[in-house]
Amino acid sequence: MSGQGAPADVEVDGTGLRVALVAARWHTQIMDGLLAGARKALQDTGVADVVEIRVPGSFELPVAAARLAPTVDAVVALGVVIRGSTPHFDYVCSAATDGLTQVSVQTGTPVGFGVLTVDNEGQAIDRAGLHGSREDKGREAVFAALETAVAL
């Protein structure tokens, strides 16, 4: 993992695990970066059984996660929400964060939170593993979900 205060990476063996990758479609280029990081992390950890679902926006991530959570060992949710001049930002962020939290707690299936909530596109690019950026939140979300799934 990267960033101040983040824990050190741990080795995770995902062999035999089934994982749902749920990804929104808003902000295509940045989503491609998050998805590439997540898919690579799944490959690196030996996860071969992956169900990948696309939804329109981050608002729809919780319902997709809720539907899939009972059928998998872990869910990884990816999205990008960029602050605009409307209150939509706050509503979409709250819906995604609250909804995904509820899914994980109510189903007992770990949900890796890979939703970027940022002020501008530059911040999103910095966190999405694009253009050699230091952070790779797609990868981090996979490791968080798998580490939790293996620990439980």
Q: What are the residue numbers of the active site?
A: 88
Distance CA 96, CA 78 (A): 10
The residue whose Cβ lies closest to ligand DLZ is 57
CB contact set of 23 (below 8 Å; sequence gap of 6+): 31, 34, 35, 38, 52, 53, 54, 55, 77, 78, 79
Residue at token pair 């990948």: 52
Residue whose CB is less far from ligand DLZ, 34 or 92: 92
Instruction: Determine whether the annotation assigns residue 60 to a binding site.
Output: yes
Q: How far is the CB of 116 from ligand DLZ (least distance, A)?
A: 9
Instruction: Determine whether the annotation assigns residue 127 to a binding site.
Output: yes
Q: How far is the CB of 33 from ligand DLZ (least distance, A)?
A: 14
Residue whose CB is less far from ligand DLZ, 20 or 22: 22
Q: How far is the CB of 31 from ligand DLZ (least distance, A)?
A: 9
Per CB under 6 A, residues contacting ligand DLZ are 24, 26, 56-60, 79-82, 84, 88, 92
Annotated binding residues for 5-amino-6-(D-ribitylamino)uracil: 26, 58-60, 80-82, 113
Annotated binding residues for (2S)-2-hydroxy-3-oxobutyl phosphate: 85-86, 127
